[in-house]
A and B are shown apart, each in its own frame.
Chain A
Amino acid sequence: EAQVTQNPRYLITVTGKKLTVTCSQNMNHEYMSWYRQDPGLGLRQIYYSMNVEVTDKGDVPEGYKVSRKEKRNFPLILESPSPNQTSLYFCAKWEDRVYEQYFGPGTRLTVT
């Protein structure tokens, strides 16, 4: 069964304190992505990765970083979080040429 895990599920932090949200997948899929979900805006793609060491910006990359040092992990890094990054974050994965995305359970982040 295709699985995506995220940690932590809930995080409350303060402005400027660096944080990392982890994402792992169990199927060796090449493609992974991070989204944020805000009321009335649906999901917006932050970054995506096509393979190890290959990443590219999505629609809303400002204030975020990612890394893909190994295929199974795709962490999202907020170097200096701000209150406008308070949101629900999802990690997803999919196979090349197969359009089925599998999403993680989400991380609810609050930045005060």
Chain B
Amino acid sequence: TQLLEQSPQFLSIQEGENLTVYCNSSSVFSSLQWYRQEPGEGPVLLVTVVTGGEVKKLKRLTFQFGDARKDSSLHITAAQPGDTGLYLCAGAQYNFNKFYFGSGTKLNVKP
């Protein structure tokens, strides 16, 4: 059983559309991170959220940490083909040394 449930697993959309990816848990995390992974490469960190209710923006990407620090969302506005990839959420619990990853959302943005 995954500690972090990510949805949807797959998403195929047209360029210009908006989308939201969800990362949910029944556990509380001290921080939550979002990564993007390209085929054949390691995950690359996009953002870290630490405070409940926190919202961070990275160009067209908006990240939100739930008030109770159990869930997070990633919203992409006007998706572009360059956004194609595997998006992973990861939570760190209070001892900071263990990270739990969601199973990932595979995004395909068609031109």
Contact = CB atoms under 8 A, between A and B. Distances in A.
On whether the two chains bind one another, the answer is yes
Interface of A: 4, 31, 33, 35, 40-45, 48, 50, 56, 58-59, 90, 92, 96-97, 99-106
For B33, B42, B48, B97, the residue with the greatest tally of chain A CB atoms inside 10 Å of its CB is B42
A106 B99 contact: no
Contact of A42 (B44, B96, B98, B104): B104
B101 interface: yes
Contacts of A104: 42
Contacts of B40: 105-106
Chain A interface, DSSP helix/strand/loop, else mixed: strand
27 contacts: A33-B99, A41-B2, A41-B103, A42-B4, A42-B88, A42-B101, A42-B102, A43-B90, A43-B101, A44-B101, A45-B99, A48-B98, A50-B97, A58-B98, A59-B98, A92-B42, A97-B96, A99-B96, A100-B45, A100-B48, A101-B33, A101-B35, A101-B45, A101-B90, A103-B44, A104-B42, A105-B40
Contact of B43 (A48, A50, A103): A103
Given A42-B4, A105-B41, A106-B40, 12 more contacts: A40-B103, A41-B2, A43-B43, A44-B101, A45-B100, A59-B100, A99-B31, A99-B50, A101-B35, A101-B43, A101-B99, A103-B44
Interface in B68-111: 88, 90, 92, 96-104
Nearest to A44: B101
B42 A42 contact: no
B104 A99 contact: no
B33 to A, nearest CB: 6
Contacts of A45: 98-100
B41 A106 contact: yes
A99 to B, nearest CB: 5
A42 B2 contact: yes
Contact of A106 (B6, B42, B90): B42
Nearest to A41: B103
Nearest to B102: A42
